[in-house]
Amino acid sequence: MTLPRPPPPARAASDEAWLDAADDIRRRRDLLVAGLRSGDVRSASQAALATCALLERVAAADDWRTAAVLLRRLRRVGGGVVRAAPGALSVGNVLRRALLVVREEYARNLRESTSIKDDAGLQRSLGDVLAARSAPDALADRDDRRDVELEALRDDVLDQLRDLADEIANAREAVAARAPGLVAPGAVVLTAGRSRSVAAFLRRAAPAEVVVVDEDGRAAAALARALPAAAVTRVTAAAAAAVAGRCRCAVLGCSAALADGGIIAQPGARLVAEACAARRKPVLALCALYKLAPLHHPGAAAARAAVAADMSLGAALPFGALPCDAGADPLAAPAPAVRHPRADAVPPDLVDLLVTNAGVHAPSYAPRLLAEMYAPEDHDLLRAEL
């Protein structure tokens, strides 16, 4: 007999009451949100590891009795961070992975509890993934049944979350290990901005020279310290097209990869990618799997409309807004509003290869990776709670 599901408002109220009582979890969530907003948590890996630790605390609590309750609590806590810092895409990605972990472990424990034993030495089959996709219905039907051993489920979920944290922590070196097969020793490589993933990758590739598109020189100086055996040359973005012809390839770090194979990278990355495309030079995007997000690159028309609406110099700094005469008091002048991009969106047609910790893929393979990593119902984390 299928038990009726409680009405969503009552569930939301009970989950909110639980979060109010969970002082440690609420404090950790607030610290993470504050760090993301202030810039103390800067990199995608830092945000992902902090999110993984937060969700592990939620799963380790001993007062949830069903997998459905755990799913709602993870969405409540993680969704609050996503809502407060929507630009930190790795936070949402880790939350989606955690939700899929609960569904997969519930489905596996449910099969074992009904005497359908799987060989412990085999990896998860396609049937496991398909069963996990249908797990939300099973969770809804079995909210008040004890078909799954609670302690076993909790231990399995915690083990998987710890494995996820280890994967995130080791992703940079796993990506860098693929460098010798992609970049020939002694090559000239073009990159943009500062990225620890790019530095680790080039350290393994051992290029003869690295050309860095960098406006203020800090990224080039950091890369020169990381690669003492290579010559590091700094150029401005205006010179990217001129130097792309003598480079073997471009290597770009990214903060996120999108569902269509595009990437979100540092300012200047798109200019580098366009320069390489014009000269038929390959562009390698370094992207650990936890950076892959189920979002799509905006179309060219949408991008142009956004530029026209929000990035116009006339709207940001009207002519005559600042006094130009030498005798004017600078403190009395209005503060100028100067828009400066924090990231570049590089479309998939400008990316040749996505280099991940699980392999090297064409950008068109990104939807397949998303299907393996996330459940479709978890793509939109800001919808109404389950």
Mean pLDDT, each 10-residue run in order, the chain (386 residues):
41 61 86 91 93 94 86 92 90 96 90 59 54 53 53 90 96 95 93 93 93 89 91 91 93 94 91 94 96 77 44 43 53 61 88 95 95 92 64
pLDDT of residue 316: 43
**What's the per-residue H, E or C state across the chain?**
CCCCCCCHHHHHHHHHHHHHHCHHHHHHHHHHHHHHHHCCCCCHHHHHHHHHHHHHHHHHCCCCCCHHHHHHHHHHHHHHHHHHCCCCHHHHHHHHHHHHHHHHHHHHHHHHHCCCCCCCCCCCCHHHHHHHHCHHHHHHHCCCCCCCCHHHHHHHHHHHHHHHHHHHHHHHHHHHCCHHHCCCCCCEEEEECCCHHHHHHHHHHCCCEEEEECCCCHHHHHHHHHCCCCEEEEECHHHHHHHHHHCCEEEEECCEECCCCCEEECCCHHHHHHHHHHCCCCEEEECCHHHECCCCCCCHHHHHHHHHHHCCHHHHCCCCCCCCCCCCCCCCCCCCCCCCCCCEEECHHHCCEEEECCEEECHHHHHHHHHHHCCHHHCCCCCCCC
pLDDT at 123: 52
Q: Are 200 and 173 contacting, i.e. CB atoms less than 8 angstroms apart?
A: yes
CA 176-180-182 angle, 5° bins:
90
Q: Where do the CATH 3.40.50.10470 domains begin and end in the chain?
A: 177-297+341-373
Question: Across the chain, what does the average pLDDT equal?
Answer: 81
Q: CA angle 356-359-361, nearest 5°? A: 80
Rounded to a whole number of angstroms, the CA Rg of the chain reads 24
At position 159, the amino acid (one-letter code) is D
160, 240, 250, 262, 297 from 286: Cα distances, Å: 24, 20, 11, 12, 17
What pLDDT, on a 0 to 100 scale, did the predictor assign at position 23?
82
Give the pLDDT confidence score for residue 4 in this predicted structure: 39
User: Which pLDDT does position 324 carry in this prediction?
Assistant: 53
What is the pLDDT at residue 132? 55
Amino acid at 277: A
| CATH number for domain 8-171, candidates 1.20.120, 1.10.1740, 3.30.70, 1.10.3470 | 1.20.120
Q: Which residue has the tokens 């800090």?
A: 218
Which pLDDT score, from 0 to 100, does residue 328 have?
54
Q: Which amino acid is at 77?
A: V
Give the Å distances, CA to CA, from 266 to 193, 194, 238, 342: 6, 8, 16, 7
User: In CATH, which superfamily holds the domain spanning 177-297+341-373?
Assistant: Translation initiation factor eif-2b; domain 2 (3.40.50.10470)
pLDDT single digits (tens) 309-367? 444 434 444 445 555 555 555 555 556 666 667 788 999 999 999 999 999 999 999 99
Q: Is 338:317 a contact under the CB 8 Å cutoff?
A: yes
Residue 146 contacts residue 65 (beta carbons within 8 Å): no
Rounded to whole angstroms, the Cα distance separating 222 from 210 reads: 12
Structure token pair of residue 2? 């299928």
CATH code 1.20.120 region(s) in the chain: 8-171
The residues with which 210 forms a beta bridge, in sequence order, are: 189, 232
